[in-house]
Structure 1
């Protein structure tokens, strides 16, 4: 199977939630063999302005979106069902399956993702590697790449490839804006 790589696709901030110091967010993605996905979220910012929790044991944790969190949503062509993955700088994570828009949520049984952070005074990056469920590995996917950025001064901004009209809503079909072709034999 051939790898599919996308380097530095930009997320846009929702106009109703301007950031304090975060300038840009870029995401790199690689879809590899056996359902492997590798992501790198890169936030250009004054690191001191970000609210980033300390590293904790890498365990499944709900409500990670309440602070700085990086996310991936995936759905198949002509299917209302979708997956949601949440990755925190603390190395905590969550994964859910939905039967349709914000309905039928269940905890997705999956292997623990590998999460690593990288930072300097001018950026924060989160690298994630995980495996898609077997029935999601071989076909084309519509992907939503998103981020919740919590900064000092009680500022929270919502970033995505595309935003629907109205308030931020990462579950909305408009956010699934990246089409990944099915992996093919090399």
Structure 2
């Protein structure tokens, strides 16, 4: 599957992280698998394991995100996935407007493997909780490093401040689920 290179927002450079790549690892009628690879993870700060459960505010620490905007409208959904195993999902009617909790049929599965050279974050999201059909997709992450330093990584950035909700960040595509 296509590997997408994320870019740090220029106003918030990383401390040690040198690159982040994201990709879809698998996609079928049951699960969408995603992977983020962080290069030079020696200063990476991870939230403590907390078990699978919905939780708001995950973006305030290291967090991995996916945005999907179905073709033909301004509505979109956001998925926040934490190395702690906590997660959140929201629907929006337009950029940062009409926010509501998005129901998922079961908890996403989140796993983190970290070393000093690199770290891997894998997530599997139940396909039944995603929009049907094709969507514009944004992949992003907030990376916290030693000393509270945060960098904001996305496929593209649209403004002077980091904003993953900006449609300029939705630069790749998610196809409709396969029948497999």
Compute the TM-score of the two structures, normalised by the length of structure 1.
0.89
Q: Distance in 1 between matches of 2:130 and 2:151?
A: 33
1:100 to 94, 105, 109: 94
Q: Distance in 2 between matches of 1:182 and 1:69?
A: 25
Residue in 2 that maps onto 1:63: 57
Residue in 2 that maps onto 1:27: 22
Compute the TM-score of the two structures, normalised by the length of structure 2.
0.92
Point out where structure 1 has 5 or more consecutive residues left out of the alignment: none
Q: Distance in 2 between matches of 1:163 and 1:39?
A: 21
Does the aligned pair in 2 maintain the 1:102–1:171 contact within 8 Å? Answer: yes
Point out where structure 2 has 5 or more consecutive residues left out of the alignment: none
Does the aligned pair in 2 maintain the 1:77–1:141 contact within 8 Å? Answer: yes
Q: How many residues align?
A: 179
Query: Do structure 1's residue 156 and structure 2's residue 150 form an aligned pair?
Result: yes
Q: Distance in 2 between matches of 1:185 and 1:53?
A: 36
Query: Do structure 1's residue 117 and structure 2's residue 80 form an aligned pair?
Result: no
> By how many angstroms is 1:9 displaced?
1.2
> By how many angstroms is 1:31 displaced?
5.2
* RMSD of Structure 2 on Structure 1 (CA): 1.7
Residue in 1 that maps onto 2:6: 11
Deviation by residue 1:51-104 (Cα, 9 ceiling, x = unmatched): 111211111110000011000000111211101000111111111111111111
